[in-house]
């Protein structure tokens, strides 16, 4: 993998986050079921789901909102967790892992990645506890979070893209 490949993965993840947000807004339109019916019948694309079930979902505003919240979280979780692993592998493969682990946000990212990957609950190992508290952009992870679920209050969705932009900037400027 090249540095350009890695940066491309960051751009793709960022675009996925924007796209799911735009989709959430579009699907919030009160007449989305009618729009969907018109689009689905006019497009020549595979239809892997029963149209009646999709229309039922589009008409149930509560279920639709919950589904989109989950989709939004899934895209952000994928961005944080996958980009951590890919960035770490790139740095190891290019002998730049010391530059990565020296970043003030590295342990923050590693702990968040673990939380996102393991049931959205903070479980600190002994090594993690030695790193705490860790603060990035006004968000602090400390031992009081042990056993707590990650919430929007602890790490707001808006911070995900801000964080990934900071990591991307590090890759662009500081890595070979």
| Band (97; pLDDT cuts 50, 70, 90) | very high
pLDDT of residue 102: 97
pLDDT of residue 47: 80
- Taking the C-alpha atoms of residue 122 and residue 80, their distance in angstroms, rounded to an integer, is 15
Q: Which of 170, 176, 168, 169 is nearest to 9 (CA)?
A: 168
- 96: tokens are 């730049």
Q: Considering the entire predicted model, what is its pTM?
A: 0.87
Cβ atoms 63, 8 nearer than 8 A: no
Q: Which of 171, 126, 123 is nearest to 147 (CA)?
A: 123
Cβ atoms 3, 93 nearer than 8 A: no
8-32 pLDDT tens trace: 999 999 999 999 999 988 888 888 8
101-152 pLDDT tens trace: 999 999 999 999 999 888 889 999 999 999 999 999 999 999 999 999 887 6
């Amino acid at each position: 993998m090249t540095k350009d490949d890695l940066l491309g993965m960051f751009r793709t993840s960022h675009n996925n986050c924007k796209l799911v947000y735009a989709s959430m807004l579009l699907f919030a339109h009160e007449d989305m079921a009618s729009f969907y019916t018109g689009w689905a019948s006019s497009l020549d694309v595979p239809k892997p789901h029963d149209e009646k079930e999709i229309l039922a979902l589009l008409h149930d505003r509560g279920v639709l909102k919950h589904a989109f919240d989950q989709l939004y979280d899934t895209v952000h979780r994928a961005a944080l967790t996958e980009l951590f692993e890919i960035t770490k592998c790139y740095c190891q493969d290019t002998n730049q892992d010391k530059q990565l682990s020296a970043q003030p946000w590295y342990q923050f990212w590693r702990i968040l990645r673990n939380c996102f990957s393991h049931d959205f609950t903070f479980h600190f190992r002994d090594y993690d506890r030695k790193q705490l508290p860790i603060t990035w952009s006004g968000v602090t992870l400390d031992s009081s979070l042990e056993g707590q679920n990650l919430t929007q209050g602890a790490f707001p969705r808006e911070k995900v893209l801000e964080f990934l932009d900071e990591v991307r900037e590090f890759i662009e400027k500081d890595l070979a």
